[in-house]
């Protein structure tokens, strides 16, 4: 797959990337969140723009500068992310869900700050499921041939978990990271395998998040034909 660094093979394409991690508010000052830095999603947005794509980046709570030449939509919660991604995916050739979406959100949002009460234990926190945005995107493609890509961080039997998740989500590609003590979260480097619905398996050696991003766009470009 020899390719010049700035070959505009995504020219004329619109791609949507989600990045960062959602925050699910509990009250005006607290939320349930996760450790996603957004760096992988931002690397995907930058590299797609460098390859000529029009890029929309739906960014959830990433403390990173807007990449040049990319349309950035800031969102907070999973429900906001879903609405934004659905809207901009309507005319997209590819959607890459690099964001870490909270699986659950507090069942109740307290309009005022939750206070301690003397001598009382806290009430258990009731949670409800968030929508599965990736599965919805894959099941209801906004246009025929739209390429849908997911990310998964796995432990234990990483490949088997990844294959099962790819099938469950119904997406075309799933980038599977092995997570551990020092791996992935907030780091500049990444190691992954990209699983394809057609059985393909593309290992990406430990290296910068840009290199993984380039491999993802190579595989997307192949599928766009
Ligand atoms: N995802 C999503 N909506 C959700 C949860 C996840 O769109 N509510 C997307 C993520 O953006 C990612 C992919 O699905 O691209 C896989 O996320 P992951 O958390 O690994 O999948 P889950 O189905 O939530 O599985 P798990 O129970 O292992 O967390
Ligand atoms: Ca999850």
Annotated binding site for CTP: 103, 113, 131-134, 151, 165, 169
pLDDT over 60 at 146, yes or no: yes
Which residue, chain included where needed, has tokens 């906001």?
Answer: 80
What tokens appear for 81 in the block?
Answer: 């992310």
Query: What pLDDT does residue 5 have?
Result: 58
Q: What's the pLDDT at 34?
A: 95
Whether residue 1 is predicted with pLDDT greater than 60 in this model: the reply is: no
Residue 35 tokens read as: 């450790």
What do you get for the CA distance between the two ends of the chain, in Å?
14
Residue 7: band (very low, low, confident or very high) from pLDDT cuts 50, 70, 90:
confident
186 confidence band (pLDDT: 50, 70, 90): low
d(CA 39, CA 112): 33
pLDDT of residue 6: 64
Task: Give the mean model confidence (pLDDT) for residues 12-32.
Answer: 98
- DSSP H or E run through 20: strand 14-20
Judged against a pLDDT cut of 70, whether residue 22 lies above it is answered with yes
- Ligand 1 pocket: which of 35, 40, 101 to mutate (most atoms <8 Å of CB)? 101
d(CA 6, ligand 2 centre) in Å: 34
Contact call for residues 218 and 44 (beta carbons, < 8 A) = no
Catalytic residue among 34, 161, 177, 190: 34
Residue list, annotated binding site:
103, 113, 131-134, 151, 165, 169
User: Is residue 13 within 8 Å of residue 57, measured between CB atoms?
Assistant: no
Q: Which ligand is nearest to the CA of 169?
A: 1
What's CA 38's distance to the chain center, in Å?
9
Q: What is the mean pLDDT of the chain?
A: 94
The answer on pLDDT for 180 being more than 80 is: no
Predicted pLDDT of residue 11:
98
Residues whose beta carbon lies within 6 Å of some atom of ligand 1:
78, 97, 99, 101, 103, 130, 132-134, 150-152
Helices first, then strands: H and E counts in the chain: 5, 12
**CA dihedral sign of residues 200, 81, 189, 213:** positive
Distance CA 152, CA 97 (A): 10
With a threshold of 0.85, tell me whether the complex ipTM lies above it: yes
User: d(Cα 59, Cα 97) in Å, to the nearest integer?
Assistant: 11
- Closest residue (by CA) to atom 9 of ligand 1? 134
Residue 34 is among the residues annotated as catalytic for this protein: yes
Tokens of residue 119, six digits = 């001598």
The answer on pLDDT for 159 being more than 60 is yes
pLDDT confidence of residue 189: 76
Q: How far is the CA of 222 from the centre of ligand 1 (A)?
A: 24
Report how far residue 155's alpha carbon sits from residue 169's, in angstroms, rounded to the nearest whole number: 18
| Residue 185's pLDDT band (cuts 50, 70, 90) | low
Q: Degrees (nearest 5) of the Cα angle 101, 87, 133? A: 25
The total of other beta-carbon atoms located within 10 Å of residue 159's CB is 13
Q: pLDDT per residue over 74-129, tens digit each?
A: 999 999 999 999 999 999 999 999 999 999 999 999 999 999 999 999 989 999 99
């Amino acid at each position: 797959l020899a390719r010049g660094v700035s070959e505009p093979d995504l020219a004329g394409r619109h791609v949507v990337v989600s990045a960062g991690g959602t925050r699910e508010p509990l009250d005006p000052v607290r939320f349930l969140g996760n450790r996603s830095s957004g760096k992988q999603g931002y690397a995907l947005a930058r590299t797609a723009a460098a390859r000529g794509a029009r890029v929309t980046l739906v960014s959830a709570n990433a403390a990173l500068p807007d990449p040049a030449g990319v349309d950035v939509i800031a969102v907070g919660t999973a429900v906001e992310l879903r609405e934004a991604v659905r809207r901009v995916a309507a005319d997209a050739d590819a959607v890459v869900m690099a964001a870490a979406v909270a699986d659950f959100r507090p069942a109740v949002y307290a309009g005022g700050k939750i206070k301690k009460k003397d001598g009382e234990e806290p009430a258990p926190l009731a949670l409800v499921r968030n929508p599965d945005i990736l599965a919805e995107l894959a099941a209801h493609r906004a246009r025929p041939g739209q390429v849908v890509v997911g990310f998964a961080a796995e432990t234990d039997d990483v490949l088997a978990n990844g294959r099962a998740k790819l099938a469950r989500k119904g997406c075309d590609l799933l980038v599977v990271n092995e997570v551990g003590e020092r791996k992935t979260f907030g780091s500049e480097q990444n190691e992954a395998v990209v699983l394809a619905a057609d059985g393909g398996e593309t290992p990406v050696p430990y290296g910068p998040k840009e290199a993984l991003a380039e491999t993802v766009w190579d595989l997307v470009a192949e599928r766009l034909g």
